[in-house]
Structure 1
Amino acid sequence: MSLRLSTVILPVRRWHEGGRDQWLRAEELGFHTAYTYDHLAWRSFRDGPWFGAVPTLTAAAAATERLRLGTLVTSPNFRHPVTLAKELISLDDISGGRITLGIGAGGNGFDATTLLKADQEPWTPRERADRFGEFVPLLDRLLTEGSVTYEGTFYSATEARNIPGCVQRPRLPFAVAATGPRGLRLAARHGQAWVTTGDPKLFEKGTPEESREALRGQIEKLGKACADVGRDADELDKILLTGFTPDRNRPLESLDAFVDFAGKHIELGFTEIVVHAPIPDSDFATDQAVFERIATEALSQLN
């Protein structure tokens, strides 16, 4: 399978002050998909502008024609499957079937506790996994069945209607972010793609070689999870969101650096690499000219 090159556009610009232009430029540059984070706030950007993922993607869907669009990633931290399904069906319709849902269990910090009471303890990793394990199968049903009734530990639905369903059949694709056994099982059962950012334990002090070995191990575990449910792991796209491995943004320093980085990860089995669109004075402050050269020239050297 040929490598796909995609981008993430963080929702930090007003739509009419550069926001719209970024999505149009992503389409012009030939990216396969343009994703955005689905957060209420995020890290160093939490005290500045940050716009909602679904309205942003709706506007992008109306402005573009060919570019696939998606979240990277949505989580149960502040989403409910019933309302999310309705928004996704609407987005898929507006875009003409160009939406991919990146979905993960979520983490601590930033906006993970925004909806909790002041004295309420944050969800533990186990509780996040428990919620995710219920969230994904229910969302799958909501996007494929016209009416759903369900009562679980964390979520419920009573005759939730989702007619006419997605433009993409049987539903829009899920790109499941996971590294642990429970998440990988969800990817194997419900995903059309799998997403990773690498091993977070290696981010600060690991080496690129250690990172690649960790990613190799993750892909092997994904393969086992797929085999356990009778599925061929080759059916899933394997997506690497860059910027969180020990290399950080070094692969975006030049076209040659990116080609070298991407080639080594293609060898591991990745089919899609996602790079962040440049944001000045931030962790993603890469050179716009280099970014655009990578977008337009890298694939011809890799495929």
Structure 2
Amino acid sequence: MRLSTVILPVRRWSDGGKEVWQHAEELGFHTAYTYDHLSWRSFRDQAWFGAIPTLTAAAAATSRLRLGTLVTSPNFRHPVTLAKELISLDDISEGRVTLGIGAGGNGFDATALGQNPWTPRERADHFGEFVTLLDRLLTQDVVSYEGEHYSAHEVRNIPGCVQRPRLPFAVAATGPRGLKLAARHGQAWVTTGDPKLYAEGTPEQSVAALRGQVERLGKACADVGRDPGELRKILLTGFTPDRPLDSFDAFVDFAGTHAELGFDEIVLHWPIADSMFAADVAVFERIAAEGLGQLGA
């Protein structure tokens, strides 16, 4: 079991931003991710910085901590420009980058460039082509491609990623098309659980929903001839009825229950006061220091 964190890009680098990433490394987190949005929900009218520049600065400020997005989506990204930025980030970090990637939703990112929000089908269509092309761009020196949504003309990506054949993809998905993409292209799979259960569901219902998602991932892997054990299973917390940061014991119980479902990485949001991610910092730091040891991890 791995324990990771999400550090939202809400702090100026010169005013505590750098220190948070360094502290994440000191606490022993496996990976520190950040959201890749232009703005997000209740933080829309507050400070919010770009994911790739933030991760680049974090790479220079740390030496062991893995870094990643959770998640990048096609809403405002293009595979050609994103691939160049990721290869550069992978180089600067000396191979410590994971790309969390998902289909996106109908939040602020979906209309920021002046476009109409995509339907669920359109999001899935873009996502499928986006991931497939990005995989090629990160593994081949020269790529040309003409698709329904994206094009690439003799694009050079030399020297490629430090990590070979490319940096790992952690594919966020719960529907059949997304799960098939995870099975084909992912080194990991990401879920936040069933969003319909967040407000009024129970922890028991959430566990049942996650069990079903894991089973469907296994079927998607079988359909493409892949062993589901090859994919790490990542649970991004904060969107289920559980409250694992309420206490140290609550986390240990939560982690044990979800380890039994097959999850091998749990991601906790770094506490932010006066937000949906508010939490006792002392409890959070104790979990980072001792939590997995209680599970024999």
TM-score, normalised relative to structure 2: 0.99
Q: What residue number does 2:50 align with?
A: 52
**Structure 2 residue runs without a partner (length 5+):** none
Q: Secondary structure at 2:67's aligned position in 1? A: strand
Question: Aligned pair 1:273/2:266, yes or no?
Answer: yes
Q: What residue number does 2:289 align with?
A: 296
Q: What residue number does 2:220 align with?
A: 225
Moved over 4 A (4+): none
State the Cα RMSD in Å. Answer: 0.6
Q: What residue number does 1:260 align with?
A: 253
Question: Aligned pair 1:8/2:6, yes or no?
Answer: yes
Correspondences of 1:108-123 after superposition (within 5 Å): 108-117=106-115, 121-123=116-118
Q: What residue number does 2:175 align with?
A: 180
Identity %, equivalent residues: 81
Give 1:251's match in structure 2, choosing from 232, 240, 244. Answer: 244
Whole-angstrom distance in 2 between the partners of 1:43 and 1:188: 30
Whole-angstrom distance in 2 between the partners of 1:29 and 1:71: 20
Whole-angstrom distance in 2 between the partners of 1:115 and 1:11: 21
Whole-angstrom distance in 1 between the partners of 2:249 and 2:290: 10
Give 1:126's match in structure 2, choosing from 121, 125, 128. Answer: 121
Whole-angstrom distance in 1 between the partners of 2:247 and 2:14: 30
Whole-angstrom distance in 1 between the partners of 2:281 and 2:195: 27
Q: What residue number does 1:107 align with?
A: 105
Whole-angstrom distance in 2 between the partners of 1:58 and 1:155: 26
Correspondences of 1:29-108 after superposition (within 5 Å): 29-108=27-106
Q: Deviation per CA, 1:218-242: give whole Å up to 9, x if none.
A: 0000000001111000000000000
Q: What residue number does 2:136 align with?
A: 141
**Structure 1 residue runs without a partner (length 5+):** none
Whole-angstrom distance in 2 between the partners of 1:52 and 1:175: 20
Q: What residue number does 1:158 align with?
A: 153
Letter in 2 for 1:68: R
Whole-angstrom distance in 2 between the partners of 1:269 and 1:244: 18
> How far off is 1:90 after superposition?
0.1
Give 2:277's match in structure 1, choosing from 268, 277, 284. Answer: 284
Whole-angstrom distance in 2 between the partners of 1:105 and 1:44: 21
